[in-house]
Amino acid sequence: MLKKLIIPLMLVAFIISVQTFAQGMRMTAGERAKQLSEQLKLNPTQTKKIEEIFTKQQDQMKKMFESGDLGSADNRNKIQKMREESNAEIMKTLTAKQKVEYKKILEEQRKRMEERMRNRGNQ
């Protein structure tokens, strides 16, 4: 019984994760970098580097979306790994103070995603 429940829940969580990521993908890499630049008060060099990171991530995700095999556990793991790698690269470009703020932004994003997942579960 529990197995029958876990698999659909994992699939729903993955779909929500992809949708959340896709919403972020609606913005271009430049728009995402600009938004982060404003939030963290980045200098032009940092903004350019972060735009490059977002562009690379966007290109990788586009290839995955085009492959059409988004539901596989392997691709879910790849998406998570891509996010972690992008965040690690971004952290390397930030000052200590900016890192603290960026961690707060990531935590807020995580909480919003969890809230969306809970709300969808209640529907």
Measured CA to CA, the distance from residue 75 to residue 88 in angstroms comes to 20
Tens of pLDDT, residue by residue over 30-88, are 999 999 999 999 999 999 999 999 999 999 888 887 877 666 677 778 888 999 999 99
pLDDT band at 13 (very low <50, low <70, confident <90, very high): low
Tens of pLDDT, residue by residue over 77-96, are 888 899 999 999 999 999 99
Does the pTM surpass 0.85? The reply is no
Measured CA to CA, the distance from residue 83 to residue 59 in angstroms comes to 13
Burial class, 66, CB count within 10 angstroms (exposed 0-12 / middle 13-18 / buried 19+)? exposed
Measured CA to CA, the distance from residue 69 to residue 77 in angstroms comes to 13
Q: Which residue, 66, 80, 63, is CA-closest to 18? A: 80
Measured CA to CA, the distance from residue 37 to residue 43 in angstroms comes to 8
